[in-house]
Amino acid sequence: MLDSIERTRVNGIDVVGLGQMAAAFGADPASGRAGFRVNTDWKGQTRSESTVDICTLGGTAIPRGFTIRTDEPNELLGGNSAPNPQELLMAAVNACMVVHYVAQASVRGIALDTCRIETEGEIDFRGCLGVDETIPPGFRRINYTVFLEGDGTREQFEALHEAVTAASPNFFNMAQPTQMCGRLA
């Protein structure tokens, strides 16, 4: 029994379960719709605290319960008590892509020893502070390097990379314009 369980898991991912989940979402498209909500409160100076209480999958609520703290470095008038929003944005993109690299490798039977993404980007604060209106207020380019080690070939790792850039939600969110529909309550 243990041997058959081990064969269904690659990189800790239940490959059979992943296939069943994909088949279920294909058979009932509404079941694959996920909703996410984050609430963020200012905590003084440049600090904020975000809470993740619930998400939904196929209309079913899934309790969560996480707190994410954010702050700016001292040099940007913060207290340097937590990552800043740009660092969290990069971390969120990296984490989403890591999930997809591991899942795609697992489905393909590739055992990974290392899956690491190094990301960097630059913001010119003259744009977000209104010093120069010709300068965009955010990232114009984000560079990242993916490090994969395991029993896959270079060609298999390149195929994984293509699959991830085609399917990672946060990669998509950063690479394509996303509507931001805000309102003041």
pLDDT tens string 137-164: 999 999 999 999 999 999 999 999 999 9
Q: Is 146 helix (H, G, I), strand (E, B) or coil?
A: strand
Ranking 5-9, 70-74, 143-147 by mean pLDDT, the lowest is 5-9
Give the whole-angstrom CA distance, residue 79 versus residue 76. Answer: 9
Residue-wise pLDDT tens digits, 104-113: 999 999 999 9
Q: In the structure encoding, which two tokens stand for residue 135, read together?
A: 């300068």
How far apart, in whole angstroms, are the C-alpha atoms of residue 124 and residue 139? 8
How much is the pLDDT for 8? 86
Q: At what angle do helices 15-27 and 85-107 cross, to 10 degrees?
A: 100
Quick one: average pLDDT of 29-57?
97
Q: What is the DSSP letter of 110?
A: P
Residue 82 has pLDDT above 60, yes or no: yes
Asked whether the CA dihedral 168, 145, 49, 76 is positive or negative, the reply is: negative
User: How high does pLDDT run on average in the chain?
Assistant: 94
Q: What per-residue confidence (pLDDT) applies to 6?
A: 53
- DSSP E strand stretches across the chain: 9-10, 13-14, 34-36, 39-42, 48-57, 60-70, 112-121, 142-150
Instruction: Inform me whether the pLDDT recorded for 7 exceeds 70.
Output: no
pLDDT at 2 > cutoff 50: no
At residue 3, the pLDDT reads: 46
In whole angstroms, how far apart are CA 22 and each of 13, 16, 25, 168, 172?
14, 10, 5, 15, 19
